[in-house]
Amino acid sequence: MRTALSAIVLIGAAACFGQNSSTVSLSNGVQLSITASLGQPTGEQPIKIQLVSASGNSIYRIFRDQNGLAVFAYELAVDRSADGTEFLITGKPVETEFAARFPGADGGKPVPTFPSEQKLPAMRSGMKSEIGLFELQGMGLKVVDSVQVRIAQGGSATLESSSQNRLRFSRLTVSVNNMRVPGTGARASVSGRYLMFYIPGRGGYFFSTESPGGYSFVKAGSIDGNHLQFTLDNEIYDCTADAPILPDIGSGEVWVYRDATYKPEGNWTKNLPAARSAQTDPGFFTASSDSLNWWLP
């Protein structure tokens, strides 16, 4: 039997012993980390957790059993306060949009979710908050998500990843056919297994040191020290950083995927309020994630 948990606890620096974690980072220094604690599972019911982008400032968390059926799902929205110093986090029930995007997620039955919105106390950078999700009685599963939002000083955000897969964009300057892209070269640094950058009017570009399964990445170029060059659609992209792009191995090949229709939404890619522009398009930015599901369907 599935039982919803209702406890929501704000904590400062308590240890988190979750078995599943995901982290995404943006070039404006915003880093979101989510770790699931599963309680004391007996092993009879394995759980697989998905992190999927829902909107510009929210994600879907989907918990599936060994048959791929959703045993619980919710939408996690993260907004900034008006002065940019705090984060407002809300756990939302999944509804019509989720059902349309993931038809048959629970074999034709409504996916278990929150009965109503779960608002957490406002958090400042570095704080953690726990949100109770669900319990599978008799299976030892008592699932709680721990959420941390952090702003790195100077617009720098880093993901931990295995050394051979780790990429880094630091103050990246991008030129297309020898024409520099406006807004590139700003003080920002992201590092992780997968990187991307967004160019207004051109869409999103996604990078990996290997060919990710399930996506149409192409081996389009190479990295040599601080220099990345690749060719897509007969256009030459020349990128230069102020630090090695492959910090641990120096040089290597790069796989690239372009989504010309990609355009970020929400406020995660914007600067703090004092530096925000009136434009709805956030302009060029870089980001990192340990999962491509954060950006790509």
Q: pLDDT of 158-215, one tens digit each?
A: 555 445 578 999 999 999 999 999 988 877 788 888 999 999 999 999 999 999 888 8
Question: Quick check: 59 and 52 in contact, CB under 8 A?
Answer: yes
Q: In whole numbers, what is the pLDDT of the chain averaged over residues?
A: 82
Taking residues 134-143, what's their average pLDDT?
A: 87
Note the pLDDT of residue 56.
67
In whole angstroms, how far apart are CA 51 and each of 61, 227, 241?
A: 5, 31, 29
The C-alpha atoms of residue 124 and residue 95 are separated, in whole angstroms, by 29
The token pair at 10 is 């704000």
CA–centroid distance for 67 within its chain: 25
The token pair at 202 is 């051109």
One-letter amino acid at 36 equals A
With 0.75 as the threshold, say if the pTM is over it: no
Note the pLDDT of residue 27.
64
Question: Quick check: 149 and 28 in contact, CB under 8 A?
Answer: no
pLDDT band for 2, please (50, 70, 90 cuts): very low
pLDDT tens digits for 209-249?
Answer: 999 888 899 999 999 999 999 999 999 999 999 999 998 88
Which helix (DSSP H) or strand (DSSP E) does residue 54 occupy? strand 48-55
The C-alpha atoms of residue 204 and residue 28 are separated, in whole angstroms, by 17
For residue 188, the 8-state DSSP code is -
Taking residues 51-75, what's their average pLDDT?
A: 88
